[in-house]
Amino acid sequence: MNVLDTEPYSYVLLDDDGEWILTFLLGGPVVRDVSVALTDDEVAAIQRGDRSAAALVETFRTDASTYDGRRVRPPVWPGRDSDDSDSNA
């Protein structure tokens, strides 16, 4: 798992064996983390410099329907074993 981009206390963009995953924090009464598998179009836009991870985070925060069906559970963070079973999810 490689960290491609990060903004402390906001988001991290990861490459997990070719799958790009954007994990970000959602605020409100309770802060929670959300991981989204990016589409090929989103990955290509970031690679071309047409879109940034920060811009995607803002889109996702504004409208959760933009990542319907692409949410990764449990949320993915660097250094956290994805096979870890002590998640409450």
Query: How confident is the chain (89 residues) per 10-residue block, as mean pLDDT?
Result: 96 97 93 97 98 98 96 92 46
**Full-model pTM:** 0.86
Q: For 43, phi and psi rounded to 5 degrees?
A: -60, -45
Separation of alpha carbons 59 and 72, rounded Å = 17
Separation of alpha carbons 68 and 81, rounded Å = 24
Does the CA dihedral 72-78-80-82 come out positive or negative?
positive
Whole-number pLDDT of residue 88: 41
Q: For 84, phi and psi rounded to 5 degrees?
A: -60, 130
